[in-house]
Amino acid sequence: MSRIEKTFKVLKDQNRKALVGFLMGGDPDMEASEKHCREALANGVDVLELGVPFSDPTADGPVIQLAGQRSLAAGTNVAAVLALAKRLRKDFETPIVLFGYVNPFFSYGYARLAKEAAAAGVDAFLVVDLPFEESGEFRQHLDPLGLDFISLVAPTTPDNRLGVILKAARGFVYYIMVKGVTGARVDIPADVAGHLDRLKKHTVLPVAAGFGVSNGSQAKDAARHADGVVVGSALVRAATEGRLAALVREIRQSLDG
């Protein structure tokens, strides 16, 4: 059983929801980034999405865009994020998902990347701009090493395509709750419940809902029909303001409450 499977199973057995937290690797530098990751893991994050910076992050809002810019300015690259994951793995059994864009991964080399990620203790990849139909070349290097390719689906994904994507999905499914880019929002969309119920008809995998969750109350609302929530921009902002641990604890307590 993989670390991702085990994590979601344990949480389900405890009637709890997963907190999937995103932080940009190397933001604002590698020393601070590692400190932030350790804070998040120690205070309740169940799955860590570790961002690999990219110069043209088309799916990200201003908070994560700026985090990526700071990380790139500090010299962060794919190898540096892999090294960070390896250091974290020495002290934590929490699943680690490398989150990024296809260009840096393709440039690094899929075969090399998969081999080094597995050796570092990475569990999965989430590639924002790699459509399922074009992911076969990457997945053929991940599958033999037990690395999951996390599938993204949205409110606009039609049923016929949903079935195709989820048939090959591994680990957990990331449900994008809103149209547009990442970023904290005031309200959770009213149609989330219906979309999540439709999604669960196509898969037995855990479903984590993201894009817009920024506090404990929103996390609790989003998790009512999902197996977990993804929080990104709010954690990145909190890290820059010195309140990351407090926000993770707040969200964790709301989900558990």
Q: Which domain holds residue 156?
A: 17-256
Domain annotation covers residue 1: no
Domain annotation covers residue 2: no
CA-wise closest residue to 50 among 242, 250, 254, 236: 236
pLDDT in tens, 205-257: 999 998 878 899 999 988 988 999 999 999 999 999 999 999 999 999 999 98
CATH of the domain at 41: 3.20.20.70
Inter-residue contact 199 to 207 (CB < 8 Å): yes
Domain annotation covers residue 56: yes
Domain annotation covers residue 12: no
Indicate the number of domains in the chain: 1
CA-wise closest residue to 60 among 232, 247, 186: 232
49 is catalytic: yes
Domain annotation covers residue 77: yes
134 is catalytic: no
Domain annotation covers residue 247: yes
pTM of the model: 0.94
pLDDT in tens, 5-21: 999 999 999 999 999 99
Domain annotation covers residue 74: yes
Q: Which of 60, 116, 123, 148 is catalytic?
A: 60
d(CA 177, CA 185) in angstroms, rounded, equals 11
Q: Which of 27, 46, 49, 250 is catalytic?
A: 49
Domain annotation covers residue 153: yes
